Amino acid sequence: MTHPGEPHRDDLSGRLNWLRAGVLGANDGIVSTAGLVVGVAGATTDRTAILAAGVAGLVAGSLSMAGGEYVSVSTQRDTEKAALKLEERELREMPEEEEQELAGIYRDKGLSEELAARVARELTEQDALRAHAEAELQIDPDNLTSPWQAAWASLASFAVGALIPLVAIVLPPTGWRVWACAVAVLVGLVLTGVISARLGSSRVGRAVRRNVVVGSLTMIVTYYVGLLFGVTMG
């Protein structure tokens, strides 16, 4: 039973999905920007060059994430709207068949034939489109996915994640830059690993290890590529 003030299950699921997407976006921002700035730091000690590369990576990555999420969610929203339009037409042209179909859905969920028919009839009388959209299509007609919300969430989460290695590598003295960045990145990856595991009800240790290993390999490889490039150019 849902109590007053208790979040609706669909609303809670939606918030968790956005939070999970935000954590993954932040994780991408940490790893990709760390790889970029550490690679540049391996090639040069020029703070301005490292900062410029990091800022460029932050901006490009944030816009790319936002654009990709906007296109993806827009496609999903268009698909949902098309499905709702088709359902609305079917309800208008063959209401009895649609009511029987709705009753069949509830029978498949375990209701008796009589109860399923009564539930379908009452829900159809209240709001036929909503009843079919939620039971048949798993769509809330009043809460379609927002592409702009998804785009801004992706942009912001990536940018926040990218700031961690960027700030950590440009503020310390030259000899400490890479180590400070590495420590900051590992802390950030541990945090995103823990949060993503909690949200997904999975094992924390596995998620953290995966994040740390991928992030560490990225920094090591790009650092030595940058170092090799710097030596070759020098």
Average pLDDT score over residue span 74-98: 89
C-alpha distances (whole Å) from 106 to each of 10, 140, 159 are 19, 18, 45
Average pLDDT score over residue span 25-31: 87
Average pLDDT score over residue span 73-82: 89
Model confidence at 18: pLDDT above 70: no
Which is higher by pLDDT, 108 or 159? 159
Structure confidence at residue 6 (pLDDT) = 43
What contacts 117, CB < 8 A, 6 or more positions away?
Answer: 103
pLDDT in tens, 199-222: 777 788 887 888 888 888 888 888
Model confidence at 5: pLDDT above 60: no
pLDDT in tens, 112-132: 888 888 888 888 888 888 888
pTM as predicted: 0.75
HEC readout, the chain: CCCCCCCCHHHHHHHHHHHHHHHHHHHHHHHHHHHHHHHHHHHCCCHHHHHHHHHHHHHHHHHHHHHHHHHHHHHHHHHHHHHHHHHHHHHHHCHHHHHHHHHHHHHHCCCCHHHHHHHHHHHHHHHHHHHHHHHHHCCCCCCCCCHHHHHHHHHHHHHHHHHHHHHHHHCCCHHHHHHHHHHHHHHHHHHHHHHHHHHHCCCHHHHHHHHHHHHHHHHHHHHHHHHHHHHHHC
Of 10-19, 37-46, 52-61, 169-178, least confident by mean pLDDT is 10-19
Model confidence at 86: pLDDT above 50: yes
